[in-house]
Amino acid sequence: MVRRGFQVEGIVKRILTVIAALFVIAAAFSARIVSAPAWKSLFNGKNLSGWKNNGEEKWIVEDGTILCQSTANKYGYLTTEKAYRNFDLRLKFKSEAEGNSGVFLRSKITGVNPEHGPDIEGMQVEVDPSAGKHTGGLYESGGRGWVASPTEAGEKALKPGTWNELEVSAHGNHIVTQLNGLKIVDFTDSAQKFNEGVIGLQIHTGGGVKMRWKDIYIREE
């Protein structure tokens, strides 16, 4: 009977050890969740606080959205005042005209040309109101031009005339874009030129741009 008691006691000790280990693992997991970077809003829905208008084009807040519209027939950029390096970005856009636009990552305004407006360098995520025009693809301004185009399926992900959700992951030389939940490009840059800079929304030269933006959030590494 004594030997059996020792066996029961040993089993109980092992059970308690396992339970204690599980508590430690659970606590560590909870700590990781708590310490995970939080999403932060880049647009408060009321004004353009935290943003800078570069150029002569129209950027206003209307009905809780950022409305950009061609007025001077030049390039225009609305850029964050803060620079970013490694981050996840998500936002929604809706086109109300045919003009081309885009979202710039790690970018920099390098000057102003009197004929076409501000010049910019950085990686651009293409945003075009027409399907099949590479929305979600990557174009390097001030460098190589197109570096990653959408797949055939990706070209069909755009929803013209309604809200579209764009997600971008930019960590080191790895950039992934998603449009309406579909992965558009997964690009590892072997010749990365831009690793830090502002985030910018674009009005393309040529006129005709009328785009709305909302629900702009960022999560830094």
Dmax (CA) for the chain in angstroms is 98
Overall average pLDDT of the 31-49 stretch: 83
Taking alpha carbons only, the member of 175, 166, 198 closest to residue 79 is: 198
Residue 1: pLDDT over 50: no
Predicted confidence (pLDDT) per residue in 128-168, tens digit: 999 899 999 999 999 999 999 999 999 999 999 999 999 99
What is the chain's alpha carbon radius of gyration, rounded to the nearest angstrom?
24
Band of residue 24 on the pLDDT scale cut at 50, 70, 90: very low
Measuring CA to CA, how many Å separate 67 from each of 46, 79, 96, 97, 102?
12, 14, 10, 12, 14
Contact (Cβ atoms closer than 8 angstroms) between residue 180 and residue 61 = no
Residue 152: phi and psi, rounded to 5, are -60, -40
Tens of pLDDT, residue by residue over 167-186, are 999 999 999 999 999 999 99
Question: What number is the average pLDDT over the span 23-31?
Answer: 50
Q: How confident is the model at residue 7 (pLDDT cuts 50, 70, 90)?
A: low
Q: How remote is the C-alpha of 210 from its chain's centroid?
A: 20
Question: Is a pLDDT exceeding 80 seen at residue 39?
Answer: yes
Q: Which pLDDT value is given to residue 10?
A: 58
